[in-house]
Structure 1
Amino acid sequence: MYQDVLIPTDGSDGTRQSIMHGLTIANRFEATIHALSIVPEGPLGTLQNEAATPAAHRAVERVAAEAARDGIEATTGVEQGVPHEAILEYAADHDIDLIVMGTQGRTGLDRVLVGSVTERVVRMADVPVVTVRLTDEIRIDDAEDAERIARDALTADAESGESDALTVVEEPQRISAVWIVALETDTRPVQVHVDALSGKARIETRDE
């Protein structure tokens, strides 16, 4: 039924549920996930800053990582334009069968933008649109707490043995309700993903 599922994401907490929902649908129908992030132009352009484009790339890469872990094919895209127009144009250009979107962002401003964009896509899309609302409470909302959980996870990892030598590479970032904690040992970098809803940690990469 669905071969190509589009998940627009801005990296905010409100998109976490839509990402999980979209991945579940894609897994069920063996569909390809399209992760798309829009850097707004026009009337919304004044709300952006120079960090907007890197943040958009991090948002879609997060979806791709989730898809890869579940064995789901994924493609990513970052576009510029009026968000709902860019989403609809992408859907038409890539023969999208289903769009899965969140309805609530991380901040008051996110709620206005994400809600407004979703509403327009629902009204104007030629394909089905599934809207998913964030209903869980964010438990881990502080970067220091995320770092502590990441360190604890590495300490508990039987193969690690490196927890005392861990150094934070950069400030932990929260993307789609997941903290990305980049650490470095004396010999290699380590990345830990901490779920901001459950507090669970996963050692995502261990590059030699």
Structure 2
Amino acid sequence: MSAPDHAVDPVRSILVPTDGSDAARAALERALAIADREDAVVHLLTVMDTSDGPLSFGIADVHELEASKERLLEELTASADRYDVEVTGAVRRGRPADEILSYADEHEIDQLVLGRTGRGAVTEALLGSTADRVVRTATVPVLVVPDATVGGD
């Protein structure tokens, strides 16, 4: 049995998980350029990591974190204005990799574009737990974009 040929599948929707980092911004730039060329919709997703349990945050902290994530999505959506691309955003709570994969499935995403940070030798060798899990378990193509500020200095 042969693997599916994703090279011929049209890209109509792209999911960009974001935490506001330089790597995530580089991924968004790449996704916007692809979406502009392919006439695709870009979905921005930011996840409030609750993997340590809901009691690790006070209610005021959760509301402030959620407001901060909403502001991030508004800022990133506004920064995409120079492209002729529809951009939508969502904030979710949960384990980041699980939420990314769930969102992609629910919204029938065609491609994921992730940022990769390099914070040291171990992180350089591994993608990072979230990116690694997404790459290993995604059912659609995943493009991993390195942080442009890492390396080369």
Structure 1 length-normalised TM: 0.57
Aligned equivalent of 2:5 = none
Aligned equivalent of 2:33 = 24
3-state SS, counterpart of residue 119 of structure 1: helix
Aligned equivalent of 1:163 = none
Identity percentage of aligned residues: 35
Aligned equivalent of 2:79 = 66
Aligned equivalent of 2:70 = 57
Change (3 A) 1:101 1:44: farther
Superposed, which structure 2 residues align to 1:125-204 within 5 Å? Answer: 125-136=138-149
3-state SS, counterpart of residue 101 of structure 1: strand
- The aligned length equals 133
Report the Cα offset of residue 90 of structure 1.
0.2
Q: Which has the higher contact order (CA 8 A, sep 6+)?
A: 2
2:115 corresponds to which of 102, 106, 121: 102
3-state SS, counterpart of residue 128 of structure 2: helix
**8 Å contact from structure 1 (residues 22, 100) kept in 2:** yes
Structure 1 residue ranges without an equivalent (≥5)? 138-208
Answer 1 or 2: which has greater helix percent: 2
Q: Aligned Cα RMSD in Å? A: 2.6
Report the Cα offset of residue 130 of structure 1.
0.4
**8 Å contact from structure 1 (residues 33, 67) kept in 2:** no
Report the Cα offset of residue 52 of structure 1.
2.2
Runs of 4+ in 1 over 3 A off after TM superposition: 44-51
Answer 1 or 2: which has greater strand percent: 1
